[in-house]
């Protein structure tokens, strides 16, 4: 007897960006993870933000002088991100689409995702990370924060393909780990007090 295929992943946040009007669901200041990564970003660096949401981290990197491209599936998210960038006098190139679809050409100094890559199903994730490696310049960085299956709380009907513990570390096994950690974060986005288990990795692609 064959098992039924896993349901497709689904993120509710695009719907929330539209429903919330002028309110920014996750705020307009940078995420804690973006603040952690910021020391690696120099003026003129090319930065790719995958799943950029309402734009808070992409705008933050642009304010530091980076040349930033934000990729986001939600048109409502991009509209709010554009508004945020204008209010901060920051220039960001926005691309509407999935992170497994067309991505900008060239090499990046930093490829970044915060709380988004776990919405990519595992088979597609394998191919995505292969592509992203080629898109990272030698000596450049990738930084990802993803939810793991150590602690599961699904919000607003979302369907997540949770990372297993250590999966990010294993994916970048040949890269130099700059920061690696597993921990839990508090959240109230669905109106309840709950926690998520996360794995974060900041890694440098070998220069050779």
**Tens of pLDDT, residue by residue, the chain (208 residues):** 455 565 689 999 999 999 999 999 999 999 999 999 999 999 999 999 999 999 999 999 999 999 999 999 999 999 999 999 999 999 999 999 999 999 999 899 999 999 999 999 999 999 999 999 999 999 999 999 999 999 999 999 999 999 999 999 999 999 999 999 999 999 999 999 999 999 999 999 999 7
Listed residue (67, 81, 85) closest to 13, CA to CA? 81
Fold of 28-204: Rossmann fold (3.40.50)
Strands 92-96 and 176-187: unpaired
Could you tell me the pTM of the whole model?
0.96
Q: Can you spell out the DSSP letters for 172-194? A: TTTSEEEEEEEEEEEE-TTSS-E
Distance of CA 134 to the CA centre of its chain: 18
Domain ranges of the chain: 28-204
């Amino acid at each position: 007897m064959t098992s039924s295929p896993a349901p497709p992943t689904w993120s509710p946040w695009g719907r929330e960006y539209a429903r919330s009007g002028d309110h920014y669901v996750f705020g307009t200041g940078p995420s804690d993870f973006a603040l952690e990564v910021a020391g690696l970003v120099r003026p003129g660096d090319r930065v790719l933000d995958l799943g950029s949401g309402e734009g808070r981290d992409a705008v933050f990197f642009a304010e530091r002088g980076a040349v930033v491209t934000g990729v986001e599936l939600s048109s409502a998210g991009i509209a709010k991100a554009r508004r945020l960038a204008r209010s901060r006098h920051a220039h960001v190139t926005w691309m509407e689409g999935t992170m497994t679809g067309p991505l900008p050409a060239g090499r990046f100094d930093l490829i970044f995702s915060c709380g988004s890559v776990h919405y990519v199903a595992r088979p597609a994730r394998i191919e995505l990370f292969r592509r992203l490696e080629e898109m990272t310049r030698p000596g450049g960085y990738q930084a990802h924060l993803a939810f793991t299956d150590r602690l599961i709380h699904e919000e607003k009907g979302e369907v997540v393909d949770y990372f297993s513990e250590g999966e990010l570390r294993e994916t970048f096994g040949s890269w130099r780990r700059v920061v690696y950690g597993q921990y839990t974060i508090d959240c109230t986005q669905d109106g309840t007090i709950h926690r998520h288990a996360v794995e974060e990795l900041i890694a440098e692609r070998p220069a050779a």
